[in-house]
Copies of this chain bind each other. A is one copy, B any other.
Amino acid sequence: MVQRAQTLGDLARELGLSFRGDAARVLQSIAPLTAANEQQLSFLANPKFKAQLADCSAGALIIHPDLAEQWAGDCLFADNPYLAYASATALFDPLDKPRAGIHPSAVVLSDKIHKTASIGANCVIEEGAEIGEGAVISHGTVVGRECRIGAFCYLHANVTLYHDVWLGRETVLHSGVVIGGDGFGFAPGKNGWTKIHQLGGVRIGERVEIGAASTIDRGALEHTTIGNGVILDDQTHIAHNVVIGDNTAMAGCCQVAGSAVIGKNCTFAGNVGVVGHITICDGVHFTARTVVSKSVDTPGTYSSGSVMMESGQWRKNTARLPRLDELFRRVMALEKKQKD
């Protein structure tokens, strides 16, 4: 899709950056440093790669002022070029926001829809649900009873919210997301499982983004709670009663079991799994596929898992794992004998 062209001067003004070169230069799109042509903007985020500037054909770059001498072309100067690039992408994004109003095919049972909100085709908005100023509810999305959708939220197509789910302003939910499904609560008995009705709701903060096909369950008695500024990638699963602190980020397919409490400013690589009823302090990083099997009270980086090998080698070595404790004992015995 064709991006929304920008001039260098407009970019500088919109992004609040100083620049060097032709303010009228038209930049059709943003492209990676090694692929950009004369009609494109690019950026250098990591000074480690500054050698690539020599071969760069971009029409203009976002760079750190310290590199001004390394690049002869037009440029925007930013203390944090990656952050400036992030802001620039919003300007080049060609998508128009859907028009305000309710599509005639939508079924709206609530009278709390802000007049500037956009309700797409085939949506269902249940009784008592509030849709805030400028919010977008895309096609096929269902908003349950007494939900509250903050101003400028964007719910993409085919999202499902059960009842009593609240979203703070400017929160984005991608397609296929399900929020407020029943937490996995059942009491065992002689005749099988008895369902525990999940009476809590879900409370999600402002400026949260939740990736496609993610699931966040409602609380058993209290609310499942996601802080402000949290970002969750696709296919995340958050179980009932979980609490996630502000600005925590989880890459794709992370899984958090019931009643876990996650701190602020944590970063999870892909497919990290957190067991239930544990607490993770602020500022913790987990590497990919870590199984977080106990509470963490010290900020830092944690990992679990094995290492990839050629399969024959892997089978031979992992076959030894069930005897690892025995091996320790045999080495202790050797040490003792040698000492004697």
A325 at the interface (CB under 8 A from B): yes
In the bound assembly, the distance between CA atoms of A213 and B222 in angstroms comes to 23
In the bound assembly, the distance between CA atoms of A251 and B331 in angstroms comes to 40
Enumerate A80-137 residues with CB–CB distance to B below 8 Å: 80, 82-83, 85-87, 89-90, 92-95, 103, 105, 107, 120-122, 124
The digit string for A195-209, where 1 denotes a CB below 8 A from any CB of B, is 111110100000101
Enumerate A224-255 residues with CB–CB distance to B below 8 Å: 228-229, 231, 233-235, 237, 239, 246-247, 249, 251-253, 255
Asked if residues B87 and A194 are in contact (CB atoms below 8 Å), the reply is yes
Asked if residues B288 and A305 are in contact (CB atoms below 8 Å), the reply is no
A175 at the interface (CB under 8 A from B): yes
Known contacts A140-B124, A199-B93, A255-B253: A186-B231 contact under CB 8 Å: yes
Asked if residues B288 and A289 are in contact (CB atoms below 8 Å), the reply is no
A7 at the interface (CB under 8 A from B): no
A64 at the interface (CB under 8 A from B): no
Could you tell me the distance in whole angstroms from the C-beta of A92 to the nearest C-beta in chain B?
6
Say which residue of B35, B86, B120, B331 sits within 8 Å of A194 (CB atoms). Answer: B86
In the bound assembly, the distance between CA atoms of A12 and B92 in angstroms comes to 58
Enumerate A309-332 residues with CB–CB distance to B below 8 Å: 309-325, 327-328, 330-331
Could you tell me the distance in whole angstroms from the C-beta of A327 to the nearest C-beta in chain B?
6
Known contacts A95-B163, A275-B270, A321-B324: A181-B189 contact under CB 8 Å: no
Nearest opposing residue in chain B for A265, CB measure = B192
A162 at the interface (CB under 8 A from B): yes
Say which residue of B184, B228, B252, B292 sits within 8 Å of A255 (CB atoms). Answer: B252
Asked if residues B199 and A89 are in contact (CB atoms below 8 Å), the reply is yes
Nearest opposing residue in chain B for A306, CB measure = B304
In the bound assembly, the distance between CA atoms of A320 and B328 in angstroms comes to 8
**A interface vs B, CB < 8 Å?**
1, 3, 29-32, 35, 80, 82-83, 85-87, 89-90, 92-95, 103, 105, 107, 120-122, 124, 138-140, 142, 144-146, 156-158, 160, 162-164, 172, 174-176, 178, 181-182, 184-189, 192-199, 201, 207, 209, 211-213, 215, 217, 221-222, 228-229, 231, 233-235, 237, 239, 246-247, 249, 251-253, 255, 257, 269-271, 273, 275, 287-294, 300-325, 327-328, 330-331, 334-335, 337-338
Residue pairs across A and B with Cβ atoms less than 8 A apart, 10 shown, are A83-B188, A103-B107, A142-B157, A158-B158, A176-B215, A182-B211, A192-B228, A306-B321, A320-B324, A331-B334
